[in-house]
Structure 1
Amino acid sequence: MTCLAFSSATCATLAQPMKMRLIPDNCFPMKRPPLWFLLPLLLLTACEGFFGRRTDTDFLDIPDYSVRPVAYVPIQPTWDGLVEPVDVVAGWDELIYVADAGTEEIISFDQAGNELGRFSIPGLTALAQDRRLDLLAAGTRDTVIGNNSFTLPALYRINLKQPGTYGLEQAQVTRLLTHPYYFKAGTPTAAEEAVRFTGIAPLADNRYYLARTGPSDNPNQFGGPDDAVLLFSADDVYISPVAVNTNLGLFRDYVRQPASISSLAQPPQSPAVNPRGDFFFCSVQEDYLLKVQLIRRVETPNGASYEVENYPVGDTSKADGFLYQPGRFTRPADVTFSGDGTNYIFVVDAARDSLYQFNALGYEGANPPAGSASTKAIKVSFGGTGSGLTQFRNPQGVAYLNEIVYVADAGNGRVLRFRLTVDFD
């Protein structure tokens, strides 16, 4: 394992006070819009968290929609001014972090949308935060080996906690893992230079999974196939690739072309954080019928085993769509899980320009509101190609915090926020 220390670039100031921008009453239309997606312009202000006190949001009225009583409301303003946001993360510090591949920067925001700081990472592709509040960023590293120049995949550990301060302004890279040197030595090959890290999924105990993809699919090669999910210790020590047990046997190459990965350990911080080692992954392998799957980590007397979760499919009395419905996705770019006990699963599909929501049983939709006569999941997925408030162009990331869904809308250079109508008090 190669470990290097770096000083951070100077970033924008972190310690800005949280702001609440109220929308004047005359900004709201006096009549009900004819369609559910013509929604009032709403602004969510910061909620109680690492840096502030809860802001009263009682001024936000509950929208009234006769066509879709349970639907996602776009929250204004959109977070514009980005170039190519390819990931968005809800931090354990209750800040929001965006990976902008266009500027190769991590950008931090409070929940009101105030920018707090920036930090440069070359070749930035994915982002995560562990429970110690360190950021883990997937990018690249330029290096010279044997008089030859290489641009290699790299994982950066970024410490946000410095004496007397916290955030990206004074952050430092404290460790750098470079492919393939976390598991082997020697001069890298052209195939190893073509590998990319596509997702990071921290666990409750700060171990983490790293999704990797590349040109070599040999399951017997040293270090496992390029397409793999790798397990690392909390101290960034490589443990092993994940092999998955199925009815047909044990596969070291079960995960093909992973585009993203997410564990069940999600904010907010609490004793109820899911301690299991389960993870969701998205695959863009064309011949995969199930492109988003949950892999369960099962502890046995002989050690840990990884098995595919079997979600129900087809019972239309329960839902109109299903996570494991064959062909449900075309090019899923990201997946996340709500850590507040609602246990929702969110997926963005870059090819379909859509956001999908599923409940804990894999039924597409939101649970019916209290007092409802029906137990059927209510479909709230939406999208379509465009730049409207409920449209996307190549969405690449999704995050969830405090009943708000965040989408990294890469093609439109923005982050969009949404909230369910039933979540307005």
Structure 2
Amino acid sequence: MYAQLKTIAVSFLETFSKGLYMNFGKALNLAAGLLILVAFLLLACGGEKFPLPQQPEEGGGSTIVSDTTYIQLRPVWDAAAGYSLNQPQDILIGREPLIYVADTGNDRILMLDLAGNILGQSQTVDNPVALTQDSKLNLLIVTDSNKIHRINLTAVQHQIAAAPVELVFEEVDNPDRRYTAIAALLTSTQGRGTISYFVTATGGDKNDNQVLIFPEGFQVRVPDAINLEANGLGILSASSPSGITALRDFSGDFIFCMIGQNSFKVQWLTPGEFGYAARLNPAAGNFDLFAIDKFAQPEDIALDSEGNIYVIDAELNYLFKFSAAGEEQQSFGRAGAGEKQFQNPRGVAFFDQTLYVADTGNNRIVRFKLSTDISQ
């Protein structure tokens, strides 16, 4: 390249010299053309040292996988690892954040940190099946009866072993009704956040099958019920509801599941002008969430930070994952006690890219890290 430049430079000088003896204008035009050619070759030569900037890859070069791979974490929280669990049916990741397990067969609530260290256990709570937190980080517990209890952690600086267990509600007018799940609902009223509670209920009478709403202080004799058809078979109905979760976006939306004879055992409802309506409706699209016979015995539901829906099915021993649009994604499970196996699982929770499953029949808690956590 430099030899070419030398030849062009010599030619330029010769041409310019001739301009002294020939028409000066023509010589000047020729010289200008040669200068342009020299400039072009200089750019081409310098391209090896000063490359043009490249177009950046979309997403900063990171690849985000649309589906999920689950990595089972060790150790499993079971008897071999020092956890004496007996038929645990629910798991809650509190806002502290701490982990609470409804250790049903041992009539207690177990408190752990995120590393799995046991911090303490509650006083006796007969047959706890589900739990949530109130606005003060106390625990609210349903016990497969018509009662709701509170473990008053704020009274004892969060020392669960010393915390009193208090009865906060009993549906005295309906002693046969059984509460099966509870979820805290955050809403916004006049610019202020308020909290109330959804409770799923079943019982001997078909009208016992409802999703109930309680105010924060539980100062009611008879709770209000969502506008659902009791023991119905379609959308906006409740047939032996078993689990519930509420969105934390102040929308008032909730998702619940049921184990009765209903074609749509998982439903996402949203408040509207005339009561609750279906957020996802099978009439509006071919949603995997509403496929016939998709579920057998769905017991609990969790949401992740992207709005994906996780459903644990006790009869199928299966963990389902759906997008917020109701499309099924990577799901897994089968009966057993090995890796990615369950036996009658009843609870599921999500926190920090980790799923926690209450594997009830195997007396353990299993954890799965989601591989889509690109910060690993």
**TM-score when normalising by structure 1:** 0.64
Give the alignment partner of residue 324 of structure 1, picking from 282, 290, 295. 290
Deviation, structure 1 residue 175: 4.1
Q: Are positions 1:125 and 2:129 aligned together?
A: yes
Q: Which amino acid aligns with 2:115?
A: A
Deviation, structure 1 residue 84: 0.4
In structure 1, list runs of 5 or more residues that go unmatched: 1-67, 141-151, 185-191, 218-224, 266-273, 366-379
CA distance in 2, matches of 1:114, 1:313: 47
Deviations 1:241-285 (A, max 9, x none): 11149xx9x99x9211001111112xxxxxxxx112211111111
Deviations 1:354-375 (A, max 9, x none): 111111111112xxxxxxxxxx
Q: 1:55-66, aligned counterparts within 5 Å?
A: none
Which residue does the alignment assign to 2:165? Answer: 173
The size of the alignment, in residue pairs, is 292
Deviation, structure 1 residue 194: 3.5
Which residue does the alignment assign to 1:373? Answer: none
Q: 1:143-222, aligned counterparts within 5 Å?
A: 153-162=146-155, 165-178=157-170, 180-181=171-172, 184=173, 192-204=174-186, 205-217=194-206
Alignment check: 8 A CA contact 1:314 1:322 kept: no
Deviation, structure 1 residue 315: 8.0
Deviation, structure 1 residue 314: 11
Deviation, structure 1 residue 132: 2.3
SS in 2 for 1:260: strand
Deviation, structure 1 residue 289: 1.3
Which residue does the alignment assign to 1:235? Answer: 217
Give the alignment partner of residue 295 of structure 1, picking from 266, 269, 292. 269
Deviations 1:205-258 (A, max 9, x none): 2200111100101xxxxxxx211111110111334111149xx9x99x921100
Q: Which amino acid aligns with 1:406?
A: Y
Q: Which amino acid aligns with 1:228?
A: Q
Alignment check: 8 A CA contact 1:78 1:415 kept: yes
Deviations 1:90-138 (A, max 9, x none): 1122111110111011111111111111112112121111332121101
CA distance in 2, matches of 1:111, 1:93: 10
Q: What's the % identity of the aligned pairs?
A: 33
**Which stretches of structure 1, 4 residues or longer, exceed 4 Å deviation after superposition?**
311-316
Q: Are positions 1:345 and 2:328 aligned together?
A: no
CA distance in 1, matches of 2:255, 2:349: 14
SS in 2 for 1:76: coil
SS in 1 for 2:208: coil
C-alpha RMSD over aligned residues = 2.5
> Rg larger in 1 or in 2?
2
CA distance in 2, matches of 1:122, 1:77: 29
Q: Which amino acid aligns with 1:337?
A: L
CA distance in 2, matches of 1:415, 1:315: 36
Structure with the higher fraction of residues in helix conformation: 2
Q: Which amino acid aligns with 1:336?
A: A
Give the alignment partner of residue 395 of structure 1, picking from 320, 327, 345. 345
CA distance in 1, matches of 2:85, 2:74: 16
In structure 2, list runs of 5 or more residues that go unmatched: 1-65, 79-83, 187-193
Deviation, structure 1 residue 337: 1.6
**TM-score when normalising by structure 2:** 0.72
Give the alignment partner of residue 85 of structure 2, picking from 79, 82, 101. 82
Alignment check: 8 A CA contact 2:92 2:100 kept: yes
Q: Which has the higher contact order (CA 8 A, sep 6+)?
A: 1
CA distance in 2, matches of 1:202, 1:345: 17
Give the alignment partner of residue 278 of structure 1, picking from 244, 247, 253. 253
Q: Are positions 1:260 and 2:210 aligned together?
A: no
CA distance in 1, matches of 2:284, 2:196: 36
Deviations 1:368-397 (A, max 9, x none): xxxxxxxxxxxx211000001200000000
Q: Which amino acid aligns with 1:331?
A: Q
Deviation, structure 1 residue 69: 8.4
Deviation, structure 1 residue 167: 3.5
Q: Are positions 1:415 and 2:365 aligned together?
A: yes
- Alpha carbons of structure 1 residues 70 and 230: separation in structure 2 relative to 1, 3 Å: closer
Alignment check: 8 A CA contact 2:134 2:184 kept: yes
